[in-house]
Structure 1
């Protein structure tokens, strides 16, 4: 058996890292960028932090700002039209997971036109060529889409989100600059931060986990657990650390997969537009408790990474409870909703939600075998 690991060609970290974009563009010989983003980031002049640098260096660009939360197939198609019309030869994706995922889909289809039907990219599509080169600049500390080979698109017609896993989609450059995240409101910092914690915990316990990925995930749990509260309060060091922690989590889970939290979160976004990070955050402690008996000693390591004192002295049942309680405590401290009803779930939709969650590609990595009936019961218990 062999294990594969794929990461960005180049990544930059730290306050002011965005200034490296000009050097990267010139060294790679790129001519014109299509900037993929959303209207809010243009309105609040976050995108301007990048375009100002491009203008100073006399680098050409156009902007596509039609991206929506939980990006749809229609958004991707509009982006494809814009990219072709612009004459661009690379992209700069600026934003959270939605602009990053949109750019990935645009880049893959542009260079692999046989997959113009976006639904054909679901799962592990056999694309032949790398996507259009993309420089990814996250503005949230959560999704780690800038370092992953995954992207998620919403099929509005069928009310479902589908996951695409393609090594050809990874951005060539990632720039993780906490200054680009400074305008995040506290609620968004909280939701995206627990999303990052979900990536780390699910990546650590997924069936595909191994020693190299475990190293990344445990470090990510440690960084996030010590930094998220401070980041939500607006402390600069907390924000800086969260920018790193979410990226480290992405380095791991992109290569080994996730689990039932994501499987159950995706339908909530598809049905109701629930922000992905919020859905994950509400679900995480409950699914951890559901999986606990199938994780060996891993919950003890999670408890230790989250700062639980004397975790090595606890019996395994106590260590598992301590890990779940540490996550619940963090959720409470950053004001994550406690129930799915608070984030818009409708009880009458549970049977359909459960079917969609069971079919989700992430569910297959869950450490505990599950069924549609199990998932229905979980949704009801968290409702």
Structure 2
């Protein structure tokens, strides 16, 4: 028996139209001039998420500046550029608008502003010693859940490695999940982010750090994703499917923010750093392979997952039912158009050794339910190849 803590943003807004509260919440936080952190596409999208955030800020009489240099798998350079603009514009808060890349970049900017150490030296768990500027996270994808988590994932372009700064100080003070902002997300991105959310939920459920509260939200997330992701990919204007996926992403974020993750994310981070591979795609390709490796740690949990994903396990042994969960993960990824192998994504076998070594150093590796060594991780990369 052990105690556990449970982290969430102080205030979470959810539902169609909730983006309109951005301005009033910024005012409540006593932020006079926030820096909006986003990418150039969202910034210039007519009546898109950034325009709606701008409208809410203007309605509340709040000045703002915009940094639109966010890249996929955000880089250290993005954070430092954002810091320069923040200081030049005399900002006193951050509003992230987008998916995981925008939220991670905004957290990185806030960390760089409040700490003198290089960002790479702050990698790890609870390394932050100073308060961050207030962060308001306006989410536009159903997947990463970075708008509610303590994780800041960045890429070091010099080493081609991703690193994670994990701290309660990173948790935004306000999160806003408005499914109407997600209607224009392309099918491929919807699929990738949706599989990312599924990975969050499954890794949380089988994590050695799982607890009854994280189990509850992880289970609901798995069920919602299994019954709504296909529809959201097939028809991006399906507001019911979009809302259910937004709910699922939020729930999965609540789960992994507290139960942590495992080898899927530890390995996916290496693919993102080495090849700039989309994080959700990397997770989706690795998920069935890694969880097949993990089954022996707790077959009953995997039998549960099979049932949550809609598989008929009546009359099956626990071990056979557990195998059904792996089949369900692979089938869902196939149905939403995820590539089947790492080879299709241009991954090279000669990189397996280094990626395996670094995966085991990743902060997510320590909560994986089954302990492996470098040879095991190389074998998993090879099986997914």
- TM-score in terms of structure 2 length: 0.96
Deviations 1:132-178 (A, max 9, x none): 11110111100000010111111111110011110001000000001
- 1:145 alignment counterpart: 146
- 1:109 alignment counterpart: 112
- 2:200 alignment counterpart: 199
Alignment partner of 1:158 is 2:159:
yes
Match of 1:373 among 372, 375, 378: 375
Residue 344 of structure 1: CA displacement?
2.1
Q: For residues 90 and 312 of structure 1, what CA distance do their matches in structure 2 show? A: 53
Q: Which moved more, 1:119-128 or 1:242-251?
A: 119-128
- 1:32 alignment counterpart: 33
Q: Which moved more, 1:55-64 or 1:191-200?
A: 55-64
| SS at 1:41 equivalent | helix
Residue 80 of structure 1: CA displacement?
1.1
Q: Structure 2, unaligned stretches of length 5 or more?
A: none
Match of 1:356 among 354, 358, 370: 358
- 1:345 alignment counterpart: 347
Residue 253 of structure 1: CA displacement?
0.5
Residue 312 of structure 1: CA displacement?
5.4
Residue 128 of structure 1: CA displacement?
2.6
Deviations 1:74-128 (A, max 9, x none): 11111111111111111110011111011112112322x24x3111210114323
Match of 2:278 among 275, 282, 288: 275
- 2:173 alignment counterpart: 172
Task: Please tell me whether the aligned partners of residues 150 and 171 of structure 2 are also in contact (alpha carbons under 8 angstroms).
Answer: yes
Q: For residues 321 and 276 of structure 2, what CA distance do their matches in structure 1 show? A: 35
Deviations 1:309-338 (A, max 9, x none): 3x3542111111111111111111101110
Q: CA RMSD in A?
A: 1.2
Task: Please tell me whether the aligned partners of residues 126 and 168 of structure 2 are also in contact (alpha carbons under 8 angstroms).
Answer: no
Q: For residues 62 and 107 of structure 1, what CA distance do their matches in structure 2 show? A: 15
- 1:299 alignment counterpart: 302
- TM-score in terms of structure 1 length: 0.96
Q: Structure 1, unaligned stretches of length 5 or more?
A: none
Task: Please tell me whether the aligned partners of residues 79 and 112 of structure 2 are also in contact (alpha carbons under 8 angstroms).
Answer: no
Q: For residues 104 and 373 of structure 1, what CA distance do their matches in structure 2 show? A: 34
Q: Which moved more, 1:14-23 or 1:268-277?
A: 14-23
Aligned residues: 380
- 2:239 alignment counterpart: 236
Residue 193 of structure 1: CA displacement?
0.1
Deviations 1:272-317 (A, max 9, x none): 10000110011101111111111241112111111113x3542111
Task: Please tell me whether the aligned partners of residues 109 and 131 of structure 1 are also in contact (alpha carbons under 8 angstroms).
Answer: no
Q: For residues 106 and 356 of structure 1, what CA distance do their matches in structure 2 show? A: 25
Deviations 1:54-79 (A, max 9, x none): 22332110000111111111111111
| SS at 1:66 equivalent | coil
| SS at 1:83 equivalent | helix
Task: Please tell me whether the aligned partners of residues 20 and 52 of structure 2 are also in contact (alpha carbons under 8 angstroms).
Answer: no
| SS at 2:129 equivalent | coil
Task: Please tell me whether the aligned partners of residues 127 and 165 of structure 2 are also in contact (alpha carbons under 8 angstroms).
Answer: no
- 2:217 alignment counterpart: 216
